[in-house]
């Protein structure tokens, strides 16, 4: 009897190595391969997916910690509990905007939860001054992950509602 109780209470607790990423913007899903930029389309930075935004609010797709806010405000990286390193890149060729039209709501080291505001962007300004408004999300340490499941490959999504990716660490 004692052995039975010991086994019941001494079981090893395994933490999930899988995380889910929610829609980080309201808009339509786009495959990375369809982005008109070879760095993203050829997955040079890692695997992921993209959203063509219908509005300028960008939120955290995961619970994690802000690793880096680019000085030009066009990109933010987040590290998750399972070790996935996520890059949100707002628009194509937006670095040349030098932060104009971007309002960042987070700082490096800040803990974020799904749906927390990251950036507000003036999409009209991006349309006028940059190549494209598409927002890729990249798992930059793809090779360190066991698998990346793309749960939605097309259609419309609402910020912080639909799960778009699942990332499992090795």
More confident residue, 14 or 94: 94
Q: What is the mean pLDDT of residues 45-53?
A: 97
Record the tokens describing residue 51, joined without a space.
Answer: 């959203």
**pLDDT tops 70 at residue 16:** no
Record the tokens describing residue 9, joined without a space.
Answer: 């209470």
DSSP 92: B
- Residues of the chain above pLDDT 70, percent: 91
Does the pTM surpass 0.75? The reply is yes
More confident residue, 12 or 151: 151
Name the band, by pLDDT with cuts 50, 70 and 90, for residue 11. very low
Record the tokens describing residue 77, joined without a space.
Answer: 């990286």
Residue 105 makes CB contacts below 8 A (sequence gap 6+) with 116, 117, 118, 119, 120
In the chain the domains, ranked by start, together with CATH numbers, are 28-169 (2.70.70.10)
pLDDT for 153: 87
pLDDT digits (tens, 9 = 90+) for 51-80: 999 999 999 999 999 999 999 999 999 999
More confident residue, 2 or 157: 157
16: three-class secondary structure by DSSP: coil
Show which residues are catalytic. 89
pLDDT for 166: 95
Q: What distance in Å separates the CA atoms of residue 19 and residue 133, rounded to the nearest whole number?
A: 26
**pLDDT tops 70 at residue 38:** yes
Contact 78, 136 (CB under 8 A): no
């Amino acid at each position: 009897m004692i052995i039975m109780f010991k086994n019941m209470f001494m079981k090893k607790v395994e933490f999930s190595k899988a995380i889910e990423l929610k829609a980080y913007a309201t808009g339509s899903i786009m495959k990375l391969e369809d982005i008109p930029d070879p760095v993203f389309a050829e997955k040079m930075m890692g695997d992921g997916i993209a959203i063509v935004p219908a509005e300028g609010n960008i939120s955290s797709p995961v619970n994690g910690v802000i690793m880096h806010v680019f000085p030009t405000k066009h990109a933010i990286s987040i590290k998750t509990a399972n070790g996935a390193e996520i890059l949100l890149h707002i628009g194509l060729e937006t670095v040349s905007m030098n932060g104009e039209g971007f309002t960042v709501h987070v700082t490096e080291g800040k803990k974020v939860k799904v749906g927390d505001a990251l950036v507000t962007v003036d999409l009209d300004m991006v349309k006028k001054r940059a190549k494209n408004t598409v927002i890729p999300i990249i798992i930059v340490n793809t090779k360190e992950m066991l698998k990346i499941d793309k749960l939605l490959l097309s259609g419309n999504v609402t910020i912080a509602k639909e799960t778009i990716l699942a990332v499992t660490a090795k």
